[in-house]
Structure 1
Amino acid sequence: MTTCMENTDWDFVLQFVSEPLDLEVHHVPEKLIAERSNSAVPVQVPTPPDSFAASPADSPAEDDTLVSVSTTFFPGAQIHSLPPDLVLLSSDSVFFYVHTHALHGASENGFAGLLPPSSKAPPGQLGPVVMVSESSTILNIVLHAVYDMSCSHYSPPFESLTAALSVLRTYGLSAKRYAGPSTPLHSLLLSHAPLHPLELYALAASYDLYELAVSTSCHLLSFSLASLTDDMADRIGAIYLKRLFFLHFGRADALKRLLLPPPHPHAPTNDCDFTEQKRLTRAWALASAYLAWDARPDLSTNAIESALAPLGDQLSCELCRKALQDRLKTLIVQWSVVKRTI
């Protein structure tokens, strides 16, 4: 039945082909090939679409929605042998694709109770999406610490690192474990010591990060303890504040003890007896008293040498000059080995 209907349709169409068309045909003189090619208006042949391109009717509607994904924790990141099964969404709408077992193993409270009970994601999906209250900058630092990776290439500001340590505690992550010695976060924090020594020392003290406080304390030798505010003293705490005071006072006392002995006298000669050598002793006492009066924990060896070395210009005895040089070398060596940290 179907075949008969198709034949009938084709007969209906072909009857118009068999009938002559009443069209007027104007005979146009043919041109040579050369004349055809020299036409003023070039003929443009449209480029056919690629065979694999979809037709316009099949192309999907453009979606203007933008999704921000972490450049480190994205679905195809090679940070773990297993694919991610959990998505963390920061407060500024950045997606982080992580592993539930990694967060469970690092956190003591189930990442503040946000982790789902099961880590098995349905086939073809990347797990549930969990929203957190932290920004992408803070969350990025925390996740790098959990995965034992450095985030120094992001150059996070010191304020963000300070906030990240607080977030570690919120999510049940030990600051001593993830900001302790030999960790990437410890090195990143320590890189801010030259610019933020007091703030970093207070931060280390508040989390009892002793090694970080020790490494930072040498940058506080030039800090004036008299300018310490009550709020900062409260943040540092009694123990680490005492250690900082003892560092300053201990170095000042050590400098006074090292300056006290004068150059060793030499055997009397015809030109320089014990009475003549007392001139060097008095000059040394005056110069060392000047240094000891304003003894600073950060006093450099160059400052000591520039204050005491000119004493030799007033001496005519070569043995006294030699004794002064030896005493100055000994002083510089002794001062350089005095403890510079808490």
Structure 2
Amino acid sequence: MDYFDFDMDLPEEWLTDDSDDAEGKAVMEILVGTPAESPDEDDSSSHVTVSVSYAFHPYTSFDDLAPDLVFVSKDQVFFYVHCQKVLAASDNGFAMLLPSSFELSLGDQPAIVVVPEPADVLNILLHAIYGLSALEYRPSFEIVSTTLDALPRYGLAEKRFASAGTPLYDLVVACAPLHPIDTYALAATHDLADAATATSAHLLAFQLATLSDEISTRIGAVYLRKLFFLHLGRIEALKHLLLQPPNTHTETLECSATQQRSLTRAWALAIAHVMWDAEPNLSTHLLQAALLPLHKELTCPKCQLALRDRIARLTIDWASVKRTI
């Protein structure tokens, strides 16, 4: 994520990281204050530079309100936010870091709460709370996964903050092209039906026989069944569509019923080859490439037209078959 350095007149000991002594604790709270008197220019201990989020900086405005709270990630990046905005999103006071009786300020200064999450994860959590897109940061799959796992911990309802149309949903789905099965497992683990559905479109080429026990366990029975039925359903739909041969026409002097039956036999042979290697992700281009050569063997214009019409109809019907769970 992006951040910039920000000079603050702040006692250096207030930024001391005691994480080694407080491992496993949920929160460490300190208050930001400005010394009553300006520090001596030679006293470097009272003048510190901190890393501040570009998205949540001291001048972030929400409903024309200035930030009244500062979150500090465990890697020492400052996020200036609005306490009521965070409390409205969370049903447990943001992991009990912000109880309803929280004292927001000491004098006129915002309060600081240290959040035991890395800046990349906290950044996405706050973007989700504020309804802001975080796609520009291009977080890794691991960061998105860690963020989703953190939602319940901070009282953020997964169905609310990761459903279709939300910034976090967009991040999950953006992982699908490069990590399709892992993204599907992530969505299934959190029962995010919208994200799982969108991701399943990237799994048509996935070999289900290669599923590991670990991935299968993460996906769970419900979403694993849906994925198998997607693959099997598309193959069955393709078989059904291919079974209908081109239409015949009334006999003519140039084309008898016997000659038309030869087209039907050629069609049956061609579709047998198609089905032998057919996969759920079979493209319409490959389907046409397998059947159009039959046109070269025909001399009857009516048979040629019937074949073209049948392939065109088949292409449209196959493209219309459902591609997601």
Match of 1:332 in 2: 315
1:308 aligns with 2:291: yes
Match of 2:124 in 1: 141
Contact 1:256/1:295, CA 8 A, preserved across alignment: no
Contact 2:185/2:219, CA 8 A, preserved across alignment: yes
CA distance in 2, matches of 1:157, 1:291: 39
Per the TM alignment, residue 118 of structure 1 is displaced from its structure 2 partner at its CA by: 2.7
CA distance in 2, matches of 1:155, 1:327: 45
Q: Name the % identity.
A: 49
CA distance in 2, matches of 1:258, 1:84: 61
Where 1:75 maps in the other structure, the secondary structure is: coil
1:60 aligns with 2:41: yes
Greater RCO, 1 or 2 (C-alpha within 8 Å, sep 6+)? 2
My pick for the range that moved more, 321-330 or 243-252, is 321-330
Instruction: In structure 1, give the amino acid aligned to 2:57.
Output: F
Per the TM alignment, residue 119 of structure 1 is displaced from its structure 2 partner at its CA by: 4.4
Residue of 267, 270, 286 corresponding to 1:287: 270
Match of 1:184 in 2: 167
Residue of 60, 68, 71 corresponding to 2:54: 71
Per the TM alignment, residue 284 of structure 1 is displaced from its structure 2 partner at its CA by: 0.3
CA distance in 2, matches of 1:275, 1:154: 66
Per the TM alignment, residue 328 of structure 1 is displaced from its structure 2 partner at its CA by: 0.7
Match of 2:24 in 1: none
Contact 2:69/2:104, CA 8 A, preserved across alignment: no
1:266 aligns with 2:249: yes
CA deviation map 1:284-334 (0-9, x unaligned): 000001111222110011101000000010111111111111111111111
Where 1:237 maps in the other structure, the secondary structure is: helix
1:112 aligns with 2:65: no
1:121 aligns with 2:102: no
Contact 2:151/2:157, CA 8 A, preserved across alignment: yes
Contact 2:135/2:170, CA 8 A, preserved across alignment: no
CA distance in 2, matches of 1:226, 1:156: 30
1:164-203 equivalence runs, <5 A: 164-203=147-186
Going by fraction, where is strand more abundant, 1 or 2? 2
CA distance in 1, matches of 2:78, 2:298: 76
Match of 2:228 in 1: 245
Residue of 80, 90, 104 corresponding to 2:73: 90
Per the TM alignment, residue 62 of structure 1 is displaced from its structure 2 partner at its CA by: 6.5
CA distance in 2, matches of 1:95, 1:164: 18
1:226 aligns with 2:209: yes
Per the TM alignment, residue 85 of structure 1 is displaced from its structure 2 partner at its CA by: 2.0
TM-score, with length taken from structure 1:
0.80
Unaligned 5+ segments in structure 1 are 1-57
CA distance in 1, matches of 2:267, 2:138: 50
Residue of 183, 193, 196 corresponding to 1:210: 193
Contact 2:246/2:310, CA 8 A, preserved across alignment: yes
Where 1:286 maps in the other structure, the secondary structure is: helix
Per the TM alignment, residue 68 of structure 1 is displaced from its structure 2 partner at its CA by: 1.2
CA distance in 1, matches of 2:261, 2:311: 17
CA deviation map 1:92-129 (0-9, x unaligned): 011112222122111111111111423442332112x2
Contact 1:263/1:281, CA 8 A, preserved across alignment: yes
Instruction: In structure 1, give the amino acid aligned to 2:42.
Output: A
CA deviation map 1:63-85 (0-9, x unaligned): 37321111222221124422222
Q: Name the CA shift for 1:59/1:125 in 2 (closer, same or farther; >3 Å).
A: closer
Match of 1:299 in 2: 282
CA distance in 2, matches of 1:202, 1:59: 57
Instruction: In structure 2, give the amino acid aligned to 1:60.
Output: E
Contact 1:141/1:151, CA 8 A, preserved across alignment: yes
TM-score, with length taken from structure 2:
0.84
Match of 2:64 in 1: 81
Where 1:298 maps in the other structure, the secondary structure is: coil
CA distance in 2, matches of 1:237, 1:154: 31
Contact 1:100/1:119, CA 8 A, preserved across alignment: no
CA distance in 1, matches of 2:93, 2:174: 31
Where 1:126 maps in the other structure, the secondary structure is: strand
Contact 1:254/1:338, CA 8 A, preserved across alignment: yes
